Amino acid sequence: MHYIIFAWFLASLPPEGDAALQRLLMRFSEQTHFQAQFTETKKISFLSTPLISHGTMEFQAPDRLVKTIETPDPSTMRVQGSQITIINNQETQHVDLKQYPHMLQFVSGMLALLRGDASLLLADYDAKSTFKKSQWHIILTPKPSSSSTVVKKLAFEGIETKPKRMTLTEKNGDVTVTQFIYPKKLEQIKK
């Protein structure tokens, strides 16, 4: 009888990875600002060479994300809640993410990580995480109940509360890898 109770107690404990993920998300929740330069490489199945862009990304808690592409084709994407504003070539488009559930899932997953919102993150995704000292790796896969028609997997790697790499794998095989760079100049602005 004692063995059964002890086995039940052990089974009820969260795996260490889950506890570490909760600690990491708690640290993200204490961070109100994130800014980095990035290099993004998109491998699209119908193109023979990848598309490469460079720019900056900035997050302001709770739900503002600005991605500015500087090269090769300058543009800015601003996310505020479920609204996206895209500016390129003097043209501005406003998009309500609620009309595009696949985009909403991707954007909300990224925002949920950056603001440390475990309930939102785990509502749409199953998470697997590994930790080694201050380095971490999180793989998010849409839950079977999800309406995702595009996202196959979303993976993040980082050190402490700094994402270093984000990989979006789409169901059609397209892959987008975003490498984040933190120059000292950007880190000083944050302080």
Q: How far apart are CA 111 and CA 116, in angstroms?
A: 8
- Residue 147's pLDDT band, with cuts at 50, 70 and 90, is low
What pLDDT, on the 0 to 100 scale, is given for residue 7?
34
pTM of the model: 0.82
**Could you report the per-residue pLDDT of 34-73, keeping only the tens digit for each?**
899 999 999 999 999 999 999 999 999 988 999 999 999 9
Q: Where are the domains of the chain?
A: 16-180
Give the residue from 157, 183, 177 showing the smallest Cα distance to 52: 177
Fold of 16-180: outer membrane lipoprotein receptor (LolB), chain A (2.50.20)
Residue 87 and residue 79 in contact, taking contact as beta carbons nearer than 8 Å? no
Here the contacts of 118-124 (C-beta below 8 Å, separation 24 or greater) are 118/21, 118/22, 118/25, 121/25, 124/148
**Could you report the per-residue pLDDT of 86-136, keeping only the tens digit for each?**
999 889 999 998 887 767 777 888 888 899 998 888 888 899 999 998 899
| 5 exposure class (CB count in 10 Å sphere: 0-12, 13-18, 19+) | exposed
Give the residue from 127, 106, 139 showing the smallest Cα distance to 19: 127
